[in-house]
Chain A
């Protein structure tokens, strides 16, 4: 049973417009949510995270919104650029255990294409 779901396998956006990537989760015990970007033949690159006690976090062109009642988060990219074309993964962290950091549970990813 998937605890983190990205229901859109792909998204196409025009350069300069907003890209909105969505993610749903089922486990209320997650304490952090993260977004990663992945290019082919590279490992995932960390983009931005949000604590479960916040509802918004912003970093440059990237903003993550968290709606805890709906168990939903979204990543907004404004303005979108062709270099943003990649697969975006939503991940949720299970809280710390054993004195170290918890593990990440990933969605299946959404492939974003930004057209010039």
Chain B
């Protein structure tokens, strides 16, 4: 069974640029959630994708957007990067229907905005 993978591992961008982060969900999972983890904080929910549509969103501006593909993999796009976007971005996959709440995380992408 393949776990959740994310790419790239690290990324350095300049303020104002755009970035795309990628996630492959665990086999058998159909739901992908994205989280932002700032230093010293717990992960914060950005949004969730199910059946290729956004299904719930946290308190993040529209410049954070995403996609889910038919194979359940996902992308997170951030436009007009700001210094405060520097964080660890975590992708988590899960299967709707188990009802137990577990989400399984990838290793994350460390984004630095200068």
The yes or no answer to B103 lying at the interface (CB within 8 A) is yes
Contact indicator A102/B105 (Cβ below 8 Å):
no
Contact indicator A108/B31 (Cβ below 8 Å):
no
20 contacts between A and B (CB under 8 A): A32-B101, A42-B107, A43-B6, A43-B90, A44-B43, A44-B90, A44-B105, A46-B105, A49-B102, A89-B43, A93-B101, A97-B55, A98-B55, A98-B56, A99-B50, A100-B31, A101-B95, A102-B56, A104-B43, A105-B45
Q: Which residues of chain A are within 8 angstroms of B101 by Cβ–Cβ distance?
A: 31-32, 34, 49, 93, 101-102, 104
The yes or no answer to A106 lying at the interface (CB within 8 A) is yes
The yes or no answer to A58 lying at the interface (CB within 8 A) is no
Interface residues of A (CB under 8 A from B): 4, 6, 31-32, 34, 36, 41-46, 49, 51, 89, 91, 93, 96-109
Number of B residues with CB within 8 Å of any CB on chain A:
32
User: How far in angstroms is the closest Cβ of chain A from B111?
Assistant: 14
Looking at chain A's contact residues, the main secondary structure is: strand
Q: Which residues of chain B are within 8 angstroms of A100 by Cβ–Cβ distance?
A: 31, 48, 50-51, 55-56, 96
Contact indicator B108/A43 (Cβ below 8 Å):
yes
Using a Cβ cutoff of 8 Å, how many contacts connect chains A and B?
A: 85
In Å, the complex CA distance between A93 and B101 comes to 6
Q: Which residues of chain B are within 8 angstroms of A98 by Cβ–Cβ distance?
A: 50, 55-56
Q: Which residues of chain A are within 8 angstroms of B73 by Cβ–Cβ distance?
A: none
Q: B2-30: contact bitstring with A at CB < 8 Å (1 yes, 0 no)?
A: 00101000000000000000000000000
Q: Which residues of chain B are within 8 angstroms of A103 by Cβ–Cβ distance?
A: 33, 45, 48, 56, 58
Other than A32-B101, A96-B96, A104-B103, give 15 A-B pairs with Cβ distance below 8 A. Answer: A4-B42, A32-B100, A34-B102, A36-B105, A41-B107, A42-B107, A42-B108, A43-B4, A43-B106, A96-B99, A101-B99, A103-B45, A104-B43, A106-B42, A106-B43
